[in-house]
Structure 1
Amino acid sequence: MFCGEGKESVARNANKHIPNGILGFPVTPMRENGEIDFQALERNIQFLLKEGLNAVFIACGSGEFQSLSEKEYEAMVEAAVSIVGGKVPVYTGVGGNIIYALRLAEISERKGADGYLILPPYLIEPHQEGLYEYISAIVKSTSLNAIVYQRANSVLTVETLQKLLHYPQIVGLKDGTGNMELNIEITQTIGSRLHYLNGMPMAEVTMPAYIQLGFTSYSSAISNYIPHISRLFYQALLDGDKALLGELYEHVILPIHRIRKQRKGYEVALVKAGMEIVGLPVGPYVRPPIVRVEKEHYRQLEAIIQTAFERFPKKVGQRS
């Protein structure tokens, strides 16, 4: 399995805030001139809290991490920690070139975040030794929780991951590769030493497969605009309600997923469109190279959201 030092790490880290369940990834609302709208960001985060999301991941993929300046990043982390007020864990996105990543990790700790998600390094296709050094440098720079993100040019082997487990800060693994063979190897070898998160695009599509491997958390993009569907889906999955799952897939989840696949960058732009449709004031604006949602796709999303509320209305007393 893993060395005794890893077991001691679990004990030392037991009281830290580890995200679980449905995870909220706020967008970065922008005005037409490209400036961040912090009032809209507050509305976004407050909405996620009101809807019962189990953690807030600020300035990550959905938050256009790649397009943020260091000053903007710091302001967003500070705002998120203040707005959340300890109600749920706050995690940040940390990645890119190693110097920048270390600065962001330092900002995250200084501003009071609970941890960070380690995003891929910039551009290079690294050897496993290089990935180990990259992640090690970030992790040992702070005492914060760290979640390793498997995707793009940053995919660890079981052996490399095992080597990293002597760092007590590493509490989780998020998978965005869909490599189920590797996921089985990891979960069977590492076991409960890590918390496992599904980070696949439109994670509801793949969550039935992931939950069988012990992935109990996932990042839900649709929770930014139809969170009652996220909760309904997850509860039906836990209850084994195949009939309800089938309806949700047919009428909401798969139709949105089909739109998402139409253009690259829709993992961000389509979320902002959905939020605009339900009346959340985030605006449709994105930073290049992401592009806005095409009008026809916007109309299709409007129809799906209307169907979601008509076929699966919120119950009396349910979060709104």
Structure 2
Amino acid sequence: MTMRKRKAPKGILGFPVAPMDVEGKLDLDALGKNIEFLIEGGLSSIFVACGAGELHAISNEEYRSMVEVAVKKTQGKVPIYTGVGGNISNALEQAKISEELGAEGYLILPPYLIDPSQDGIYDYLKTIIQSTDLNAIVYQRDNCILDSKTLIKLCEFPQLVGFKDGVGNMENNTEFTHLIGDRLEWVNGMPLAEVTMAAYVNLGYTSYSSAISNYIPHISAMYYEALLNGNKEVAHELHEDVILPIHRIRKQKKGYAVSLIKAGMQIVGLPVTTNVRAPIAPVEKEHYDQLKKIIDHALEKYPVPSRVI
């Protein structure tokens, strides 16, 4: 038996959506195009059926079909991770499906409804982490908030390779990275992570999930390169022209962390409708039009390199 590579993906991580047709059914062809676009855009990895992929709203049969498409499209190109979480029984089934289909690992999303104690969170994460030999990344957000003792204890499991933060408590993040160091890969999972990445980089966070990469991946790449190279002028311009204006729209309505991505994808010509599943609401026309103006301006000022087309 070959030893599994215990290392999380680095850089800008790709999170495809769950495209729906006009009847609200999963559109697997569109998912394939979404994944191809991310790979061609230079994303370091694919994380399918996670938050942007509406894990909360798909059946495990649909989940299997999404993972099958992702495995086929990523074969030998970039690592593929899946989302698992919510109901513990469903999460364990999703973990088994991911292992069976050949994923490298999974991102563990929070449990539903329950606001657990630290030992409850530990048991939830431990059960999923230990259920397979796949790599695991813990996603801190909503009702899965860890303290340093819990995270250190979870580091005893070799399957755990990363920690993704979607809360933004920089005091806790400083403590985590100080105590744990390079034992884990640190991932910025804040909504529109380009907004906060400059702060996270200083703590040792070298990776982030990018919502806008689903439609303007070259902008994410330009921003991150400028950030890492200390090119404050370019980073500032991209914040001013693209990142902060999109972020302002995203904050207008709950659920836009998902539905605004689909709107952006449709605007750039990808074969994706703006349909989402309840309880997420689709983007309102006013906000769609605002987003289109921002994207049109961005593509005019910052053209897509020919190698990414």
TM-score, normalising length: structure 2 = 0.98
Matched-pair identity in %: 60
- 3-state SS in 2 of match to 1:137: helix
Give the deviation of 1:86 after TM superposition: 2.4
Instruction: Choose the corresponding residue for 1:159, options 149, 164, 168.
Output: 149
CA separation of 1:156 and 1:13: change in aligned 2, threshold 3 A? farther
Q: Is 1:168–2:164 an aligned residue pair?
A: no
CA distance in 2, matches of 1:143, 1:109: 8
Superposed CA deviations along residues 160-185 of structure 1, whole A, max 9, x for unmatched, are: 11111111000000000000000000
Runs of 4+ in 1 over 4 A off after TM superposition: none
Superposed CA deviations along residues 198-219 of structure 1, whole A, max 9, x for unmatched, are: 0000000000000000100000
CA distance in 2, matches of 1:175, 1:147: 10
For 1:62-141, list aligned pairs within 5 A: 62-141=52-131
Q: What residue in structure 2 maps to residue 305 of structure 1?
A: 295
- 3-state SS in 1 of match to 2:131: coil
**8 Å Cα contact 1:13/1:168 also seen in 2:** no
Give the deviation of 1:15 after TM superposition: 2.6
Q: Is 1:319–2:305 an aligned residue pair?
A: no
Give the deviation of 1:311 after TM superposition: 1.4
CA distance in 1, matches of 2:224, 2:100: 34
Where structure 1 has 5 or more consecutive residues not aligned to the other structure, the ranges are 1-11
Q: What residue in structure 2 maps to residue 7 of structure 1?
A: none
Give the deviation of 1:319 after TM superposition: 1.7
- 3-state SS in 2 of match to 1:210: helix
CA distance in 2, matches of 1:14, 1:239: 33
CA distance in 2, matches of 1:33, 1:66: 19
The RMSD of aligned alpha carbons is 1.2
Q: Is 1:234–2:224 an aligned residue pair?
A: yes
Superposed CA deviations along residues 279-300 of structure 1, whole A, max 9, x for unmatched, are: 0001111101111111111110
**8 Å Cα contact 2:6/2:161 also seen in 1:** no
Q: What residue in structure 1 maps to residue 43 of structure 2?
A: 53
CA distance in 2, matches of 1:196, 1:265: 25
Superposed CA deviations along residues 10-67 of structure 1, whole A, max 9, x for unmatched, are: xx97734521100000001101111111111110000011111001000000001100
- 3-state SS in 2 of match to 1:22: strand
For 1:258-297, list aligned pairs within 5 A: 258-297=248-287
**8 Å Cα contact 1:175/1:198 also seen in 2:** yes
Superposed CA deviations along residues 144-175 of structure 1, whole A, max 9, x for unmatched, are: 00000010000111101111111100000000
CA distance in 1, matches of 2:89, 2:169: 30
**8 Å Cα contact 1:236/1:244 also seen in 2:** yes
- 3-state SS in 2 of match to 1:146: strand
Q: Is 1:197–2:190 an aligned residue pair?
A: no
CA separation of 1:250 and 1:74: change in aligned 2, threshold 3 A? same
When the two structures are aligned, how many residues end up with a matched partner? 308
CA separation of 1:39 and 1:14: change in aligned 2, threshold 3 A? closer
**8 Å Cα contact 2:6/2:159 also seen in 1:** no
Give the deviation of 1:251 after TM superposition: 0.7
CA distance in 1, matches of 2:79, 2:131: 20
CA separation of 1:256 and 1:273: change in aligned 2, threshold 3 A? same
Where structure 2 has 5 or more consecutive residues not aligned to the other structure, the ranges are none
